[in-house]
Structure 1
Amino acid sequence: MMSLPTNLMPLLETALNTFDILDSPEEEDEFIEKLRFFLDDNLILAALDLVDRDSVILYNTPWKHTKYEVLGTTSTYSVFLGRPDKTSLHTAYCTCPSFAYSVLASDTQYMCKHLLATVLAIRMSKCTKRVVSPNELAGKIMSGLSTT
């Protein structure tokens, strides 16, 4: 399998960080078209489907810590974005098997559909928001780590 060119990673990050919140369908279309340069159409469509089904959950703690989960077709996956102010693909991670294989092991994709869905949901303001206590968050983090 061919590995992805690493010099395109900063360009993909720039494309993902270009828009804070997309306000119009035209801006969303322009954003998606830029992503098509880097990502497979099937990956983009699968991620948009997750966003449309409100599958991206943002958990907020009383001390402003955030955690993302994506309700996949077979399981729930934890998504870690790294820096809270920007998407950093170098530190982003998903607990799904596809991320482990396609991104980490074989280097055939820049991200999985769950990670992309999380980024898109943030940009489109379509995360399902929930407030959690410290104990609930700790349980969610531990259950997310145990699925890897």
Structure 2
Amino acid sequence: MAPALNVELAAEPRSAARSRRATTEWLASVCGYASSCDIGQDIVLAVNEAVSNGIEHAYADEDGVVTVCGRIEHTAPERRPDGAGPCGAFEVCIEVSDNGRWRPPAADPGHRGRGLMMAEAAVDHLALDKGESGTVVTLRRRLGCPVSAS
């Protein structure tokens, strides 16, 4: 099975780019392709939005970290639309976590405040766990490709 994704990022703006690169490279190793398909691009977008929220909101003026952990899970295979056999028997599960404090969104965020909505639209399932010891965003998306055995 493909290796897990584990990245610890400083909670600073430039870390968002690092999370995108790491997620893209990991997905390429999982799927065995050099470039991301539409599903891969959706996953990278969702991770970017979750990481950006952690960077911007979790720590106020304190130093902190945002962690990205990903794994592949087996799911029940579905039939291809053309009936040619099973596809998508794997799901990506990525958790983006911080140890900061949750802050409710502003009543009127203006042109901002849509990151989690965008992330949710890009994956099959998004769960948000806001606790005393930080926030965990869990992203799940079924893969439509075979997973590399490496």
TM-score, length of structure 1 as denominator length = 0.31
**Bigger proportion of residues as helix:** 1
TM-score, length of structure 2 as denominator length = 0.31
Bigger CA radius of gyration: 2
